[in-house]
Amino acid sequence: MASVSFSRALAGCAAFALLSALAVPQARATVYASKQEALREAFADADRIEEKSFVLTEDQARSIEELAAAPLERQIWTLYLAYRADRLLGAAVIDVRNVRTLPEALLVVIAPDGTVRSLRILAFHEPTEYQPSARWLAGIESRQLGPDLHLKRGIHSIAGATLSSHAVTRSVRTALALYQVLFESQNPAE
């Protein structure tokens, strides 16, 4: 009698686990481009791309957090500066951060004037239904760092993917703040 009850309980648990697995969207790790591919595409007319790494000082980190209105998740950052001859074509920042529990990698391309030139998802490890569309990402292009670069202000949320839209806008604000503090302030003539 006890073995029949145990078998039924075990069967019930297995059925519940199967139904739970089917009801929850499955994460699929999707990598769309390598760093080198994405940078070449973003700056197709560049004759060189310089990689500059920075270990932020406390003052720089504080300034970036204030400008971005977002906490920094790390102190070491790299800016990719693209040039044709001596003319700056733009900069790029690759930001990797967790959306819910899994990471996304976003390439934020910045025009010399400090506006967003383009955005590209390099990798997305959450379920694909949570991934921002190319159309939504394009809506952030040409924006600059300011009070409207937040959800429910100048940026629309993505229905069913609110955490993804928050992660992208935080990445963009952080990239623009990094560019402003680390590059623009040191090279105002460019």
Mean pLDDT (whole number) for 11-32: 50
Query: For the whole model, what pTM was predicted?
Result: 0.81
3-state secondary structure 108-162: EEECCCCCEEEEEEEEECCCHHHCCCHHHHHCCCCCCCCCCCCECCCECCCCCCH
pLDDT computed for residue 151 by the predictor: 84
Q: What is the pLDDT of residues 77-122, one digit of tens each?
A: 999 999 999 999 999 999 999 999 999 999 999 999 999 999 999 9
Q: How many CB atoms lie within 10 A of CB 126?
A: 23
Cα 33–36–39 angle (5° rounding)? 90
* pLDDT above 50 for 75: yes
Q: Domain locations in the chain?
A: 26-184
